[in-house]
Amino acid sequence: MSVARTAVRRALLYVPGSSQKMLDKTRGLTADCVAYDLEDSVTSNRKAEARSNIRRFLEQPRADGIKECAVRINAVGTGHEANDIEAVCNAPNLDTLVIPKVNSSSDLKWVADCINHKRTFTDPEESAPRQIKILALIESAKAISNLREICETAAQLDGLIFAAEDFALDLSLTRTPSLTEFLYARSAIATACRAHDLPSTIDLVCTSYKGEEGRRVMEEECLGGKGLGFNGKQCIHPDQVAIAQKAFAPSEDEVTWAARVMIADAKADQNGRGAWTLDGKMIDVPVVGKAKSVLSKAEACGFDLSAVKEKWKSQEPE
């Protein structure tokens, strides 16, 4: 029977569907999400080949290190999108479709309707076809203006992704190292995701990936995106994946703090104390909520919470 998979997407790595060699290499990766690409990395004369490659790949046993298998299709209106969806939507290991250039609710509605029309039963134990999740790429000024209606269109929508290069092209912007030219768009996307309770808000691609300088830039961009409310990042090279997954996971110090808060709060609650202190700082309901969220994400990221809780089981509210 099909099992629902985690929505944690600290890293979303694009892999060209036209390269069988690169598809096979992903079997050795550890990544929250790999998006096998039919769009930008595949030339028009190789679209059919890429569809066949990806379909065969998704029919093979799932790689242990990949939590989510996604496919980025071509944009609605290109003439390729229907063939893309038909080729992969019934593949047994497809979890998610990434939809580029979503400018309005009609784009997502078309995709959702197409999926529902073409889906069939892939598991005899299922009472209905397993739902395919959708991630929408936000790439234009029009999309930013329509964020609310986009977020409210499809029940399958599971997050938004910011495509900086196409957005810069649309607004005639020049990308700079500070990324300040994207501040409004990035903040709007992160806020819209939170307002509509979408699990994933995935930040722009880091175009630097070679050597120590590439690693430094990637780390800086991850921390900057995290500070704006993003919880994941697009990757274009396997070396970027570990950096993103570390940056967007809770740190050991954060997990320890959260465990101490939850253990002490349970004891405070038994004593009828709504507010108390830890390390000289007041702990109340919003802080406890944050601690609970940290532990939930830490568990999804693979932390051994039982060991941390055992270590701090004697923590008392101050």
Residues in the annotated binding site for substrate:
72, 139
Q: Return the SS3 of 157.
A: strand
Phi-psi label, residue 191: left if phi above 0, alpha if psi -120 to 50, beta otherwise: alpha
Q: Select from 70, 157, 139 the least CA-distant residue to 103.
A: 139
Which residues fall within 8 angstroms of residue 239, CB to CB, at 6 or more apart? 209, 214, 215
Task: Name the amino acid, one letter, at 167.
Answer: F
Q: Residue with structure tokens 């047994």? A: 92
Backbone angles phi, psi at 100, to 5 degrees: -80, 160
Measured CA distances, 129 to 6, 71, 92, 201 (Å): 18, 18, 11, 26
- Can you tell me the distance from the alpha carbon of 42 to that of 94, in angstroms, rounded to the nearest whole number? 19
Annotated binding site for Mg(2+), which residues?
A: 139, 166
φ/ψ region of 279 (left if φ > 0, alpha if ψ in -120 to 50, else beta) reads: left
- CA 227 from centroid of its chain's CA atoms: 16
Residue 76, token pair as written in the block: 């609605």
Q: Which residues are annotated as a binding site?
A: 72, 139, 166
Single-letter amino acid code for the residue at 129: P
